[in-house]
Structure 1
Amino acid sequence: MDVGLISFVLAQLAVQWNTTGMELSWIASAGFVGMAVGAVLGGLLADRIGRRQVFALTLLVYGVATGASALSGSVAVLIAWRFLVGLGLGAELPVASTLVSEFAPPRIRGRIIVLLESFWAIGWTIAAVIGFLVVPSSENGWRWALAVGAAPALYAVFVRLRLPESVRFLESRGRFVKAESTVCRFELSAKVTVPPPESDPAVQGGVKRKDSTGSFAALWSPSLRGRTAALWLVWFCVNFSYYGAFIWLPTVLVASGFSLVRSFAYTLIITVAQLPGYAASAYLIERWGRRSTLAVFLIGSASSAALFGIATDTSQVIAAGMLLSFFNLGAWGALYAVTPEVYPTRIRATGAGWAAGSGRIAAILAPLAVPLLREAGGTGLLFAVFAGFFVVAALGTFGLPEKRGQALAE
């Protein structure tokens, strides 16, 4: 919801503040600069102090910063607040998928992660509703929209008090008694009690295991460097095409001759197609596997982007946009599912954070490149470039491991 809101805010600021395309690009890109930094720092911290702690902190940071950005009186101030929003949000995304992947059983782990990521589409749809109903309602409509985005900060309290810490993380840090307590909590909820084996360190007094924490260098060790390079390539290309297209979508539609309200309505229709995309990905990822599902949805994204670039009337724009939403967000779900599976526990969050961070570099560049590409060749060239990035991402999937039905590596 938070990221989606800014696309509707940009469309109104272009009219209300008479901002240039480059100024709008920097407002959008500032959030992605923060997301790049936040993703890396969040992953590193999550492998040191825990997934839950970082998750709660990030909710607080980006919720408060979003609410504060509603008070911005200039482009510079709004850019500063968007950086802080990105800092919190960038850290939250890889940490959340890492935490859930470490709880999910192998048989349905991929599906669980795709379903988790499908709430991105729900949030973006809510943002589209707010953009359609609230942003055009008054001159301060964009401020009220951002004020709504402060709500997640309240959820941080619940997360801190009730969300369990990853058992795999606790064991990797030698906190076996706490890990056993968390497992017992799940057993009690299922009305099943399984006594720990006699060799369990928690039974023997909690002898600590001295596992080293992950580092950047470990991601490029001989056994992992190929996977890391492929993962970073996919993240970079998917981010470039997704954020380049969807952050600018309302503004592109306005520039194509649609009114502000009508462009917001079309964007809402296109956004709703994200949900069945996630559902299809969640179903197929445990049948086809991670790589096949990701590659198919990326090729579908490339084809849809090409169709959008040559669309000439309203029905073609909406149809191509819905296809792009369907395939692109299905690919996102599969990408988040495969990312934590690439690395062992001690560097899992670090690896996911650096992969997301590499992608956010593309998210920074994409909004800046959109005005230049549109000036050079219009919407056709713009979406042809996006299609090309999707094809490269599909090729990158061949370097990723297939972990369907397998336990996470320790």
Structure 2
Amino acid sequence: MTVSDRLDSLPATREHWRLVVLSGLGWMFDAMDVGLVGFVLVGIGRDWHLKATDLGLILSAGFFGLFVGALGAGRLADRYGRRALFLATLLIYSLGTGLSALAWNLPSLLLFRFIAGLGLGGELPVASALVSEFAPATARGRMLVILESFWAYGWILAAIVGLGIVPTLPVWGWRVAFAVGALPALAVLYLRRRLPESPRYLAVTGHVDEAISIVRQLEQAAGVAPVALEPTPAAQAARASTWERLARLWSRPLVRRTLMLWLLWFGIVFSYYGVFTWLPQLLVARGLTVARSFTYVFITTLAQIPGYFSAAYLVDRWGRKPTLVLYLLGSAVAAYLLGNAGTAPILVLWGCLLSFFNLGAWGVVYTYTPELYPTPLRASGAGAAAAFGRIAGIIAPYLTPWLLSSAGLSQPAVFALFMAVFVLTALDVLLLGEETRGEPLERIAPTELAATPLR
């Protein structure tokens, strides 16, 4: 039995869930930062007399950081380890968010949002790779969707801060909001110092004794007797260059998976950030007060939680592929209904439906992505897919106000565009995706795939 075999055969223990919680807390504050931007744009635009397109640049600067962070951190995590990058990305995020509170003009804020995006973009694919490599095969989907569910708690915190601080502090509200987002993340950074490195990563990079030591701790936590473990051959891909790694992602054994994931990430990021980062502004444009619009966004945010937990239930019972297709199509229907909502209560109803399906789909995306790549390429593959998606994150926040103002489209027409993107993304998964439910990682993506000769 190898280290990977043993990890998949163990039951889920308190140590596994501790890893999920400590990873999830950082994820929560990352989400809080993204959510806060949507709430503070109103205050920033008012204080600095900015146009809607200028506010879109603030969002796009953060997403450009997400793109660079996801691409760079994935490669570094495969080279230097998951744990080191896990800690570094949270520190960078905290620094960027704290500096955002001190911004003195638009260019300085764009720079600080880029730095915050670097940390956020790097943490998410590395965190999902780390948890997927610890989780037993039968519980992997549930654990990763629960990890992603911390995103909802971050948005809820963002809504609470947005409701409690931004409207009540007309001048300093948005600065205080950014400071509140930075400080708790530093506490999580302190707690994470005791997290172990991924045993799978240690095994394939030649640190077999360290990997076995961590497996023994998990065996002890599960109350089972230790078993003899065979060494795992070290993978040369761990020392490959960035371009060699990208080339391997598009090699013949992995090309279908990479194409499916890149299209999936682009579609879901484009639709999510095109809708949710502008939702408070869109509500204000419909004649609601800032406080009232924030209240409605808070209500729709609460619907994310049952969306995550329903997906967590289905993903290990029904499967990744059918669950993801269902939730993407549900998002498409909800986006169309939201764009055509006439009254405030109906708008909240369809907003809740969109939150339910869309965030449930996100939970499956973060489960599915790291499973499809071998361990030496897992963080690089997840990071590259996320980075390609972040290109859509750069485009969408700027495109939405442009479509509504310069292009003269109505809100129903813009939301119809997002509906179409959701449908096309579901077709991508349906036609190119493959099922991974309950399969050991090494059976889904053997380590040998990382060393396939490039042609």
TM range (shorter): over 0.9
Mapped to 2, the partners of 1:108 and 1:308 lie a distance apart of: 35
Kept in 1, the 8 Å contact 2:38–2:278? The answer is yes
The amino acid of 2:403's aligned partner reads L
5 Å-filtered alignment, 1:212-223, equals: 212-213=237-238, 215-223=245-253
Q: In the TM superposition, what whole-angstrom CA distance separates every residue of 1:277-327 from its partner, at most 9, and x where no partner exists?
A: 001100111122101000000000000000011101011110010001000
- 1:217 to 1:377, Cα distance in 2 relative to 1, 3 A: same
2:111 pairs with 52, 73, 80, which one?
A: 80
3-state SS, counterpart of residue 146 of structure 1? helix
Kept in 2, the 8 Å contact 1:250–1:263? The answer is yes
Kept in 2, the 8 Å contact 1:30–1:82? The answer is yes
2:426 corresponds in structure 1 to 394
Displacement over 4 Å in runs of 4+: none
Mapped to 2, the partners of 1:33 and 1:395 lie a distance apart of: 27
Kept in 1, the 8 Å contact 2:237–2:377? The answer is no
Q: Which runs of 5+ in 1 are unaligned?
A: 202-206
Q: In the TM superposition, what whole-angstrom CA distance separates every residue of 1:342-369 from its partner, at most 9, and x where no partner exists?
A: 1111101100000000110000000010
1:171 corresponds in structure 2 to 203
5 Å-filtered alignment, 1:102-251, equals: 102-138=133-169, 139-150=171-182, 151-160=184-193, 162-197=194-229, 200-201=230-231, 209-213=234-238, 215-251=245-281
2:352 corresponds in structure 1 to 322
Mapped to 2, the partners of 1:111 and 1:330 lie a distance apart of: 12
Kept in 1, the 8 Å contact 2:249–2:255? The answer is yes
Mapped to 2, the partners of 1:335 and 1:190 lie a distance apart of: 29
5 Å-filtered alignment, 1:235-274, equals: 235-274=265-304
Report deviation, 1:187.
1.8
2:412 corresponds in structure 1 to 380
1:204 corresponds in structure 2 to none
Mapped to 2, the partners of 1:210 and 1:286 lie a distance apart of: 30
Q: In the TM superposition, what whole-angstrom CA distance separates every residue of 1:1-48 from its partner, at most 9, and x where no partner exists?
A: 111111001122222322101110000110000000000111101101
Q: In the TM superposition, what whole-angstrom CA distance separates every residue of 1:95-145 from its partner, at most 9, and x where no partner exists?
A: 001100011111121111000000001111110111011111111011111
Kept in 2, the 8 Å contact 1:285–1:293? The answer is yes
2:437 corresponds in structure 1 to 404
Mapped to 2, the partners of 1:209 and 1:9 lie a distance apart of: 48
The amino acid of 1:401's aligned partner reads E
3-state SS, counterpart of residue 48 of structure 1? helix
2:45 corresponds in structure 1 to 14
- 1:395 to 1:208, Cα distance in 2 relative to 1, 3 A: closer
The amino acid of 1:55's aligned partner reads F
Mapped to 2, the partners of 1:210 and 1:349 lie a distance apart of: 14
Mapped to 2, the partners of 1:378 and 1:80 lie a distance apart of: 32
Identity of aligned residues (%): 49
**Is residue 342 of structure 1 aligned with residue 372 of structure 2?**
yes
Kept in 1, the 8 Å contact 2:204–2:376? The answer is yes
Mapped to 2, the partners of 1:170 and 1:8 lie a distance apart of: 42
Report deviation, 1:208.
6.7
**Is residue 293 of structure 1 aligned with residue 293 of structure 2?**
no
1:305 corresponds in structure 2 to 335
1:69 pairs with 86, 94, 100, which one?
A: 100
**How many pairs does the alignment contain?**
402
Mapped to 2, the partners of 1:11 and 1:296 lie a distance apart of: 34
Mapped to 1, the partners of 2:42 and 2:357 lie a distance apart of: 25
3-state SS, counterpart of residue 404 of structure 2? helix
Mapped to 1, the partners of 2:233 and 2:311 lie a distance apart of: 40
